Amino acid sequence: MVEMYFSPVESSEWLKVRMSKLEISSLEHLATLTEIDRGTISRYFRHERRPSVDVIAPFCKALEVSPNTLLKVLGAIPR
């Protein structure tokens, strides 16, 4: 069985949709909510950088998702 992962394009699209649903207006706004640099957030969702464990909780809180969902979206674990 082939494990399926989110692609960078799918992750970025998921983030846009999720931010819109939660009325988070921009990556700057998300950066303020999470206290994570905007560029770093962008690199996580483009799969250019793996998130460290200390950023999972702020992302989950701001995006109102479980750690499992976030790790799937970031391409860290299979769907």
pLDDT above 90: percentage of residues in the chain: 95
What Rg value do the Cα atoms of the chain yield, rounded?
Answer: 12
Is residue 38 pLDDT above 90, yes or no?
Answer: yes
Q: How far apart, in Å, do the first and last CA atoms of the chain sit? A: 13
Number of independent structural domains in the chain: 1
Q: Domain holding 53: CATH number?
A: 1.10.260.40
What DSSP state is assigned to residue 54? G
Is residue 64 pLDDT above 90, yes or no?
Answer: yes
* Mean model confidence pLDDT for the chain: 96
Is residue 5 pLDDT above 90, yes or no?
Answer: yes
- The answer to whether residue 27 sits within a structural domain is yes
Tokens representing 17? 């949709």
Predicted structure pTM score: 0.92
Count of Cβ atoms closer than 10 Å to residue 29 Cβ: 15
By residue range, what is the domain housing residue 43?
A: 8-73
